[in-house]
């Protein structure tokens, strides 16, 4: 995760000592979080973290891809496709109605990969436009 955080697409700042010390412990406490690691020659090459949610419109679970990172040395080897397919398989097994994710506007490489995998912008009614991802920090 620190590799992702240091990347411009992850904010460009190192994770705090607290996060580095506690992230795996906190993730393990939550049964609705699915963490998949990809290794090449016993070295970490990629990571995807997906969190179960619920679609009230479909009355079914959904799986949100919260983080996806492929280490720079391992890019362009199909790792993101493998990680996305693994998460899709989990979602189908759980009976999910869809996969969701957010992507930065300027991350054209990721957007291209997601489109190739079948993702598209979310909208209910074209007259109302696409959904936007907003946040309110609580600290």
**Does the residue 103 lie in any domain?**
yes
**Does the residue 134 lie in any domain?**
no
Q: What is the pTM of this model?
A: 0.87
How many independent structural domains does the chain possess?
1
Task: Using pLDDT thresholds of 50, 70 and 90, give the confidence band for residue 9.
Answer: low
Residue 84 confidence (pLDDT)? 98
| Cβ atoms of 88 and 41 closer than 8 Å | no
| Cβ atoms of 39 and 45 closer than 8 Å | yes
Residue 13 confidence (pLDDT)? 79
Residue 47 confidence (pLDDT)? 96
Helix (H, G, I), strand (E, B) or coil at 122: coil
Print the domain residue range for 66: 32-118
Which two three-digit tokens encode residue 48? 């995807």
Q: In this structure, what is the dihedral angle of CA atoms 132, 118, 109, 41, given to the nearest 10 degrees?
A: 120
**Does the residue 132 lie in any domain?**
no
Euclidean distance between the first and the last CA atom of the chain, given in angstroms as a whole number:
21
Task: Using pLDDT thresholds of 50, 70 and 90, give the confidence band for residue 1.
Answer: confident
**Does the residue 8 lie in any domain?**
no
Mean pLDDT of 102-110: 92
Task: Using pLDDT thresholds of 50, 70 and 90, give the confidence band for residue 8.
Answer: low
Distance CA 123, CA 30 (A): 30
Q: Does pLDDT of 32 surpass 70? A: yes
**Does the residue 14 lie in any domain?**
no
**Does the residue 22 lie in any domain?**
no
Distance CA 88, CA 96 (A): 9
Q: In this structure, what is the dihedral angle of CA atoms 112, 114, 115, 120, given to the nearest 10 degrees?
A: -130
Between 124 and 56, the more confident residue is 56
The crossing angle, in degrees rounded to 10, of helices 79-94 and 108-116 is: 50
**Does the residue 63 lie in any domain?**
yes
Place of tokens 């598209």: 120
- CATH number, domain of 52, equals 3.40.630.30
Residue 3 confidence (pLDDT)? 74
**Does the residue 7 lie in any domain?**
no
Residue 44 confidence (pLDDT)? 94
């Amino acid at each position: 995760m620190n590799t992702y955080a240091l990347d411009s697409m992850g904010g460009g700042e190192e994770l705090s000592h607290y996060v580095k010390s506690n992230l795996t412990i906190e993730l393990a406490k939550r049964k609705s979080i699915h963490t998949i690691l990809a290794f090449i020659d016993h070295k970490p090459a990629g990571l995807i973290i997906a969190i179960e949610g619920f679609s009230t419109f479909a009355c079914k679970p959904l799986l949100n891809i919260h983080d996806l990172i492929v280490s720079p040395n391992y890019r362009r080897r199909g790792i993101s496709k493998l990680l996305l397919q693994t998460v899709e398989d989990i979602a189908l097994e759980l009976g999910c109605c869809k996969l969701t994710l957010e992507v930065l506007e300027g991350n054209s490489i990721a957007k291209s990969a997601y489109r190739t995998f079948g993702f598209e912008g979310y909208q209910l009614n074209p007259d109302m436009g696409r959904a936007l991802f907003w946040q309110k920090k609580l600290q």
